[in-house]
């Protein structure tokens, strides 16, 4: 696990101010200073231990910039455990497993299924849709239809008839 920064590294007016940290991170990351961005998110996690956003962003940094997939996985798992209801953490881990790490395992599918069992409301639609697209891409029409149907039903429950119609079209295309 990366080292924690000293508390006196950042000005006192940033302590605990989420919006200021978000702005600072964006400015540093846009400038290409990924080490600086990493230090900001590590520090943010010392101020707000176990808060999922900084952990998720560290996972993303290690996945996309540092290409250190075991560390990315660890941060995504920490983010997921910090807030089991955020679908974004399951989707990020799914992408890591699908495209970068542990590709020859069931880890990608397993993490989405775990997320489906924990996430509720409209956020679960994204998990169903990701799983449906995954199976469609693998040529498993039956499984794709199953998860498109779940996504459609969740969209209908949420009152999003336009999205439900898109899922219906995907289902029909697979029949």
Q: Which CATH number fits the domain that encloses residue 22?
A: 1.25.40.10
Instruction: Report pTM.
Output: 0.82
Tell me whether residue 173 is in a domain. no
Sign of the Cα torsion 143, 149, 150, 155 reads positive
Look at residue 163 and tell me if it is in a domain: no
The SS3 of residue 49 is: coil
Residue 103 lies in a domain: no
How would residue 27 be classed by pLDDT, with cut points 50, 70 and 90? low
Q: Which domain holds residue 43?
A: 1-88
CB under 8 Å to 28, separation ≥6 — which residues?
Answer: 36, 37, 40
pLDDT(19) > 90: no
| pLDDT-derived band at 30, boundaries 50, 70, 90 | low
Which of 124, 132, 127 shows the shortest CA–CA distance to 167? 132
- The predicted-structure confidence for 128-148, as pLDDT tens digits, reads as follows 999 999 999 999 999 999 999
């Amino acid at each position: 696990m990366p080292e924690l920064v000293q508390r006196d590294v950042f000005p006192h007016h940033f302590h605990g101010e989420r919006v200021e940290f978000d702005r600072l991170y964006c400015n540093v990351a846009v400038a290409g200073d990924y080490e600086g961005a990493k230090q900001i998110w590590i520090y943010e996690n010392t101020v707000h231990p176990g808060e999922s956003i900084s952990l998720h962003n560290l996972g993303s940094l290690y996945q996309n910039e540092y290409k250190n997939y075991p560390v990315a996985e660890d941060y995504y798992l920490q983010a997921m455990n910090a807030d089991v209801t955020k679908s974004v953490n399951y989707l990020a881990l799914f992408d890591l497993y699908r495209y970068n790490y542990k590709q020859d395992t069931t880890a990608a599918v397993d993490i989405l299924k775990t997320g489906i069992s924990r996430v509720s409301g409209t956020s679960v639609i994204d998990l169903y849709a990701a799983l449906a697209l995954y199976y469609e891409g693998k040529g498993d029409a039956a499984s794709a239809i199953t998860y498109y149907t779940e996504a459609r039903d969740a969209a209908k429950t949420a009152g999003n008839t336009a999205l439900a119609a898109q899922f219906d079209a995907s289902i029909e295309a697979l029949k």
